[in-house]
């Protein structure tokens, strides 16, 4: 019995397009080696790549497919190995969507106090953070509605700011 046990995806950029490299792990749970088998990658119901599969007896192997471009949200994928006596584990399904940055607003009383925090957030890439630095008196309702996260960095929350934060939270 040969089974597709897991699939991992590594994201990359190529000519301003997001791509993923799909890597499948396959286990052979039989006493016979698999030589010259095939492993297929399907996207949205159609086969897009096929790779050669060699797995030792009672062993495992991994196969990396060529990178593919993420063209839209919720692209359905399947990695499929050939037929055997147990077809239930011959396919591994997954969904991939373009990476969406987490929108973060850092609210502070002075602009210089955010240096460490903004640099720390800039390092992240899984997920990527889109950081907007604002002073407490210069934040709009639209800013709050667009934000996924609002960080209050050493800022006093007066009644007016508290109400605006509460209203912004209602839109999440």
Q: Following DSSP, what letter does each residue of 54-122 receive, concatenated?
A: EE-TT-EEEEEPPPEE--STTEEEEEEEPP-S-GGGSEEEEEE----PEEEEEEESSGGGGHHHHHHHH
Backbone angles phi, psi at 159, to 5 degrees: -60, -40
Ramachandran bin of 15, using left for φ above 0, alpha for ψ from -120 to 50, beta for the remaining angles: left
Whole-number pLDDT of residue 9:
94
pLDDT at 168: 57
Q: What token pair was written down for 162? A: 């508290």
CA dist 123 and 126 (Å) reads 10
Q: Do residues 155 and 111 touch, judged by C-beta distance below 8 A?
A: no
Q: What is the pLDDT of residue 170?
A: 55
CA atoms lying within 13 Å on the CB side of residue 65: 29
Instruction: Extract the residue ranges of the chain whose pLDDT is less than 50.
Output: 172
Tens digits of per-residue pLDDT, 100-113? 889 998 888 776 77
Per the DSSP assignment, residues forming a β-bridge with 106 are 133, 151
SS3 146: helix
């Amino acid at each position: 019995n040969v089974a597709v046990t897991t699939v991992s995806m590594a994201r990359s950029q190529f000519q301003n397009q997001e791509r993923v490299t799909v890597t499948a792990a396959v286990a052979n749970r039989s006493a016979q080696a698999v030589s010259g088998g095939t492993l297929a990658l399907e996207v949205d119901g159609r086969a897009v790549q096929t790779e050669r599969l060699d797995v030792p007896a009672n062993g495992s192997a991994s196969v990396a497919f060529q990178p593919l471009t993420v063209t839209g949200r919720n692209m359905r994928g399947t990695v499929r190995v050939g037929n055997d006596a147990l077809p239930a584990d011959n396919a591994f399904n997954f969904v991939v969507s373009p990476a969406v940055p987490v929108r973060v607003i850092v609210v502070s009383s002075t602009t210089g106090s955010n240096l460490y925090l903004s640099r720390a957030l800039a390092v992240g890439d899984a997920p990527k953070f889109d950081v907007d630095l604002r002073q407490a008196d210069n934040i709009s309702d639209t800013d709050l509605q667009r934000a996924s996260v609002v960080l209050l960095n050493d800022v006093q929350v007066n009644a007016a700011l508290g109400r605006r934060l509460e209203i912004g939270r209602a839109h999440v």
